[in-house]
Amino acid sequence: GAVVSQHPSRVICKSGTSVKIECRSLDFQATTMFWYRQFPKRSLMLMATSNEGSKATYEQGVEKDKFLINHASLTLSTLTVTSAHPEDGSFYICSLWAVEFYGYTFGSGTRLTVV
């Protein structure tokens, strides 16, 4: 399947700072990427759809100013958690859709802890 590289795998940041998570498609040009959030022992919750060259589409209830998504190239989408607070701590996962790889491929996830 398509290889999706997500970085960092773990990050600890201080409350009030911003954190950027990168999602790279290593072998495919992805026009669309998806960002998910997952709380412990819960299912994945779709946050937003990231479209290359245009603004991301956020799901209802997701704060656009808190979770900034940039998809500036066909191989890179970034999620920036701004002014992070402890309640923003979670497991964030990116995904891309590629017809050559049966549909959807996921990154390995980023565990964010805010202290």
Partner 1 sequence: DAKTTQPPSMDCAEGRAANLPCNHSTISGNEYVYWYRQIHSQGPQYIIHGLKNNETNEMASLIITEDRKSSTLILPHATLRDTAVYYCIVVWWTDKLIFGTGTRLQVFP
- Residues found near partner 1 in the complex (CB under 8 A): 1, 4, 6, 32, 34, 36, 43-46, 49, 91, 93, 95, 97, 99, 101-109, 111
Choice between 16 and 103, CB closer to partner 1? 103
Q: What are the φ/ψ torsions at residue 95 (nearest 5 degrees)?
A: -150, 150
| Closer CB to partner 1, 1 or 16, in the complex | 1
Q: Please, what is the minimum distance in Å from the beta carbon of residue 34 to partner 1?
A: 6
For residues 105 and 96, give the distance between their C-alpha atoms in angstroms, rounded to a whole number.
6
Pick between residue 4 and residue 79 the one whose CB is nearest to partner 1: 4
Strands, E assignment, the chain: 4-7, 10-13, 19-25, 32-38, 44-51, 57-58, 67-73, 76-81, 90-98, 103-106, 110-114
Instruction: Find the shortest distance in angstroms from Cβ 28 to partner 1.
Output: 14
